């Protein structure tokens, strides 16, 4: 009897990586991509969102990661809205310059930045119970 319980536990522990990598991670990545509420320009930020599973045995880490550098800016915000909490100002020149999606050039001495759009953080938070239930269901099979 004891060996069957140990075998069951060992088999379930060995299957945890597959559960996280093949079922839970794709579900979360698809939800992030579907629900991202920023305005796409190239689609690279949305397309580039990836998932990662690391670990083994009894300890795993599941991560959702923006692949584009600016994906982190979308998630955390920039300027006064971001981690630095300060306006964006020129470093090497006297004025900032950029071209918007309509091709219009803009100039400014400083910009406030963009407000965070934490779709990755929100998705993980909103799916906490769902993830737990999928793990419980897996161990109950």
Go through the chain and tell me how many residues it has.
Answer: 141
Q: Is the pLDDT of residue 105 over 70?
A: yes
Q: Which residue has the higher pLDDT, 34 or 39?
A: 34
* Structure-block tokens of residue 15: 């299957």
Q: Residues 42-59: what's their mean pLDDT?
A: 91
49 CB burial (10 A radius; 0-12, 13-18, 19+):
buried
What is the percent of the chain with per-residue pLDDT over 90, rounded to a whole number? 74
- Helix, strand, or coil here: 94? coil
Average pLDDT, the chain: 92
- End-to-end C-alpha distance for the chain, whole angstroms: 18
The pLDDT tens digits of the residues spanning 71-83 come to 889 999 999 999 9
Query: Is pLDDT larger for residue 133 or for residue 69?
Result: 133
Model confidence pLDDT, tens digit, residues 14-28:
999 999 999 999 999
> What global pTM score does this model have?
0.82
**Confidence category of residue 2, pLDDT binned at 50, 70, 90:** low
Dist. CA 121–CA 106, nearest whole Å: 32
Q: What are phi and psi of 140, to 5 degrees?
A: -90, -10
Question: In the beta sheet, which residues pair with residue 97?
Answer: 107
| C-alpha span between 53 and 24 (Å, rounded) | 10
Spatial CA neighbour of 64 closest among 13, 114, 24: 24
């Amino acid at each position: 009897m004891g060996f069957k319980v140990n075998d069951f536990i060992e088999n379930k522990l060995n299957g945890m990586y597959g559960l996280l990598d093949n079922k839970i991670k794709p579900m979360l990545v698809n939800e992030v991509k579907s629900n991202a509420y920023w305005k796409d320009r190239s689609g690279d930020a949305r397309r580039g969102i990836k998932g990662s599973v690391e670990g083994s045995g009894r300890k795993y880490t599941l991560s959702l990661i923006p692949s584009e550098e600016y994906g982190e800016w979308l998630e955390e915000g920039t300027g006064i809205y971001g981690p630095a909490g300060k306006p964006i100002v020129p470093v090497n020149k006297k004025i900032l310059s950029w071209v918007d999606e309509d091709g219009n050039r803009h100039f400014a001495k400083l910009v406030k930045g963009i407000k965070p759009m934490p779709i990755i953080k929100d998705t993980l938070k909103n799916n906490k119970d769902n993830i737990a239930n999928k793990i419980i269901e897996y161990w109950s099979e």
